[in-house]
Amino acid sequence: MPVPLNIAVLTVSDTRTLETDTSGQYLCDALEASGHRLIDRKIEVDDMYRLRAQVSVWIADEDTEVVLLTGGTGFTTRDSTPEAIEPLLDSLIDGFGELFRTLSYEEIGTSTVQSRAVAGMANGTLVFCMPGSTGACKTAWEGILKEQLDIDHRPCNFAELLRKGGH
């Protein structure tokens, strides 16, 4: 039987609204279809300090187990998600970015080198930062997160780690 996790979704964008945020909506729909609970959803402009502030609120909340961020991971001057989030992380999950770029390479070729997807653990909360396109969110969810947030996935998964207090 699946164990539902409490997940918050943050879209990083200077232009999207809830009505036009297809990436955030995809993540919300996908996590709920997998039996998890969407406990909060926000859109925040690409500002390092505003991103840190919002994610810090979720990290400090004992009910939030996972935070999914979409957007702000590219190389433009406005992309600051990795710089905003990495200082909050107690430990990095290096394999997330590595595997994301491997899966993404099959879809978009060498353009994947511009992805700065990053993940880690902060105060017992898993934080995953992925690119802002809906395709990238689908790649991350279907190729990594869906299984790793499923307590029945073997040989190991992050849901089990959260439940055992292994953070």
Question: What CATH number does the domain containing 30 carry?
Answer: 3.40.980.10
The band of 165, judged by pLDDT with boundaries at 50, 70 and 90, is low
Which among 52, 156, 144, 49 has a CA at the least distance from the CA of 95?
144
Taking only the tens place, the pLDDT of each residue in 55-82 is: 999 999 999 999 999 987 877 777 889 9
Is residue 9 within a helix (H) or strand (E), and if so which, with residue range? strand 6-12
DSSP 138-162: HHHIIIIIHHHT-TT-SS--HHHHH
Its domain, for residue 61, covers: 6-163
Give the Å distances, CA to CA, from 7 to 36, 63, 74, 145: 7, 9, 24, 12
**Pairing outcome for strands 66-70 and 6-12:** parallel
pTM, full prediction? 0.95
Is 1 within the bounds of a domain? no
- How many structural domains is the chain composed of? 1
pLDDT of 88 strictly over 80? yes
Angle at CA of residue 131, ends 46 and 19, nearest 5°: 70
Taking only the tens place, the pLDDT of each residue in 149-159 is: 999 999 999 99
CA distance 46 to 83: 11
CA distance 130 to 117: 5
CA distance 42 to 78: 18
